[in-house]
A and B are shown apart, each in its own frame.
Chain A
Amino acid sequence: MAIRFEDQNEDLRRIVLSGRLDTAGSEEIARQFAELTRSSKGVVVYLSEVKFLSSMAISMLVKGAKAVEAMGGRLALHVAENEVIIRTLEATGVNELIPTFEDAQHAEKAVLK
């Protein structure tokens, strides 16, 4: 699994996750993800390259979304057409808590103030 990010500008941060976010993989990146979501920017988390999403990874996303909101920002998920990830998010109802988009531009538009 891998985590990388880029700040498009003062208003938008992109966090790209990839690989297998099973329990072990989620533990590896949780600290960095938490640091990246202590931000008042709009944050889009790209999940299109993720092959597996565990409950620990989903908890990480929820905590991140709460952290961004607490700082006055917004967080959205980009899932493209990744059916495994979409099904996993739907199973837990997290797609109804965190704005989730198949289209990246829509995701970025949703988090910009």
Chain B
Amino acid sequence: MPPPAAQSPAALTIRADTWDARRASGWLESAALAQNVPLEQIVRLDHCLDETLANVIRHGGPTALSSPVHLQFGVRRSPGACTAELSVSDAGVAFDPSKFVAVAPHPASLADATPGGLGLLLIRNFSDQLSYNHSQGRNHLTITVRWVEES
């Protein structure tokens, strides 16, 4: 069986701030559309990207805010299955979102609701797989979505 066909990944380096996060969203959409990723999958990745960058900005600490964030996006296609991977590398406090996905159940009432943790819930819900490692002082998170392409 031939290996999955992979196109050259797209890459972008941004600052860790909300305005560059929006720029990253535009970059992601363009890169994904260029590789014929369905809109539904782009929306999923877009949510994951926004929430991941928001976490870096809010919780990554001073080093995260003063260091560049590296993004990479690529698509692999094989018969019956397609995969898009978005990688985010930041220099913030070590944090593995994949370890925090089994967060507390939904609050029972509005009074019990707290604002924290919603971003991680969204990342989990909109992704099919999260892979994380920490090396050379940087977090490396890869967000994967999969879909079946109609022939």
Contact B106 A54 (CB under 8 A): no
A92 to B120 Cα, complex, angstroms: 10
Number of interface residues of B (CB under 8 A): 26
Per-position 1/0 for A1-31, Cβ under 8 A of B: 0000000000000000000001111010000
Q: From residue 81 to 104 of chain A, which have CB atoms closer than 8 A to chain B?
A: 84, 87-88, 91-94, 96-98
Does A106 lie at the interface of the complex (its beta carbon under 8 Å from any beta carbon of B)?
no
Contact A65 B19 (CB under 8 A): no
Partner of B22, one of A22, A59, A84, A93: A22
Interface SS of chain A: helix
User: Contacting B19 at CB < 8 Å: which of A24, A87, A94?
Assistant: A24
CB distance from B71 to the nearest CB of A (A): 15
Distance A25 CA – B50 CA, assembled complex (angstroms): 11
Contacting pair B118 A58 (CB below 8 A):
yes
Contact A92 B106 (CB under 8 A): yes
CA distance A23 to B43 in the complex (A): 15
Q: Measured between alpha carbons, how far is A63 from B113 in the docked complex, in Å? A: 9
- The reply to whether A92 and B46 contact each other, CB–CB distance below 8 Å, is no
B54 and A92 contacting across the interface, CB-CB below 8 Å: no
